[in-house]
Structure 1
Amino acid sequence: WFRHNSQFSGAQKIEAGTSEHTISISEGGIYYCRGGRGDPVYSTEEISDVTVKEAIPSKPTVTLQPSWTQIYSGETVTVRCEIQGGEGAQWTYEWRAAKLNTPPTSNEHRIIRATESDSGGYSCRGRRDYFFSEWSDIITLTVSSSKPRATLTAQSSIIPAGGSVTLSCSVEGSAGWKFDWFRRDSQFSGAQKIGAGTSEHTISISEGGIYYCRGGRGDPVYSTEDSAPVTIQKQVLAAVKLQHSWSQIFTGETITLRCEIQGGEGKVWKYEWTAPNTNSPPTSSEYRISRVSVSHSGDYRCRGSSDYLLTGWSDAFRLTVSSASKPRATLTAQSSIIPAGGSVTLSCSVKGSAGWKFDWFRRDSVSSKAQLMRGNEANRVISVSQGGLYHCRGGRGDPVYYTEDSSDVTVTETLSPL
């Protein structure tokens, strides 16, 4: 029995002078045999060669690089034939592919800018001398002609004050994507990339704006269509404050409530108010009420919006307008007699409220006209050294709201002896 590895190699005798007419072989190659008998041996002619091919025990595997089987027109993918245990050997590869007019003989088939015609099943086998592998299982590649669009979803369209919102980007029906994230300050501003090529499909944001995303995968990178934009607003805090510091308001006064927005400096805001006793609340930051009445008592709230910032409704500011009659100032004197060469201190007050400034009046007698001595005094105390009838009043706000005049207080001047 004889064997050679190829048509051009020398034959090797693998078995000699056996009386058995059969042998078992486990290697591929070119085999032939001859018979012999007698002594000396008489040999027959050699029979024609028989070629035996050896199948390796391991079936090849077709893999895709990248690994996804659903791809899109324009993507690049490599189909690879892998033979387990065949490392280091010089293999020639055979391919079965629906659209390969000239199948490659290497273990890789690179599809650049795939089209729908590249869709189909791919299988392979390896050949080495007289060794043939089995055909691999078929892997099916699907190429879609329509470019996919990324989808952006938001956990919420409003970022709570001091908080954040999670955005999610996805591409339906396929895998392997990395994501780019973009933000615009307004509909007319350019987009800024805020995250590039991240394998995470979510990001956390704490600023309002217009957001969108897109997916990309492969080398060179194949990008999806941009997602539809999502508008996110950031919430900041609003508060209603009374411009004046006094808590007790009297009928007829003019007051101003102000909507203050924390962190809203430098923005152009639109304001909304809720208030009692009004059908058309203002749209500015100030709510001015001239000549308030008891009907204006109640809760006042405000909120604002600016670009991609907004506030929730502020906490209620409770305004109480007193139903009592106009307050009267009270004048008291340190003494009713001015000592010779001395002075007396007068004090003016308005019971139960604050913020007053004071006007001081004097007249010589009950029948004479009072003269304004000093006006708009922040100090509620003055000193006088001249006798007469004195009274005072309080005033506050803009325009000024005046109390009723105090009762007269008579101060007598002591004359110095001659």
Structure 2
Amino acid sequence: MKSSQHKTTEWSDSVTLTVSDNKPRPVLTVSPSWLSPGASVTLNCQVEHPSAGWSFYWYKAVPDLSEKSSSYELLPDGSGTAQDSYIIHGQTHTAGYVCRAGRGDPEYHTDHSQPKFVWSADVHSAASLTVSPDRVQHFTSDSVSLTCEGNFTEWRVRKFSEDGRLYSDCRRMTGSTCNIYTSKSDTAVYWCESGSGEFSSAVNITVQNDGNGPILVSPVHPVTEGASVSLSCSLRTQKILSNVFFYHNDKLIQNDTRGELKISAVSKSDEGFYKCQYSGRESAQSWMSVKADGSSSPVWLIVGLVCGVSLIIILLLLLYRCRRTNSETFSFTYHHSMKLCSEFNMGNMGQGTITLYPH
């Protein structure tokens, strides 16, 4: 009878297993960063080790000033989507977003991502941010005031710096105004958040690090189509300069003795990056945004209503007369009246007698 023999192998190499209480944190990206009229916003949520089985959750960040942070509200149909992207339509104002992921049964969730923001430059009535002095570019050690405006008692100014850091507190906040003495690190996007969860429009601030170089003086907020705007070049020691070169999207557009670039009636084609050059030194470039004139739509609506009502009245009169006259007379009167209506409306539109002022 054979005896059983037990054989063993050599020991394997050791493996270290680490168990961590820290949950993984996904990375959220937002595209585009700046809103344009009619554009949709796409959110993408990326986990560190992507694999099958993840579900994704999408949230709107709501300012919570008492906690110096934000609370999260689930977006419509944003619970447990199979896709790692989410599209938002109709977003018009500055907003913050957050995502997280989950999988398994019971479901294991990651931490929430860091909030990411989509910014709108358009000023709206609920909340707004004004900058004094009203320009994008500033010299180092300039005194700049950022003021939050709206029907709210509590505010905070937020800052998203060039290196991707988000700051929640203003170093010198007095009431609704944040006062800064500019340094290079203050180059950033700024906006206001109210205690009621409202976001203001966002502005770019650029700090010129070259003490001897010029800055471009350009408006912080979008310029309305049809309005006039002036851009100029300035030194720390000399505010008014002459013989300045102005560039639009890196193309030279003015080179003469004037120290100012004046656009009498701004159009959408004037939107873009601008910079100036003086004595061989260039300023940084700044984006000038152009927004549609909100008064144009009511003008066309009024003109259309006047013409439409006029045509209805004329047609009713013609129908009444049709019973008393023959078809030849009707045809002549109708075409003659249509011509009069057309001439009347074209004449009024040409005169531009209706004037609406943007608020």
Common fold: TM-score over 0.5: no
Q: If each structure's helix is expressed as a fraction of its own residues, which one has the higher value?
A: 2
Q: TM-score scaled by structure 1?
A: 0.27
* Structure number, greater radius of gyration: 1
Q: TM-score scaled by structure 2?
A: 0.31
Q: If each structure's strand is expressed as a fraction of its own residues, which one has the higher value?
A: 1
User: Which gives a bigger RCO, structure 1 or 2 (Cα 8 Å, sep 6+)?
Assistant: 2
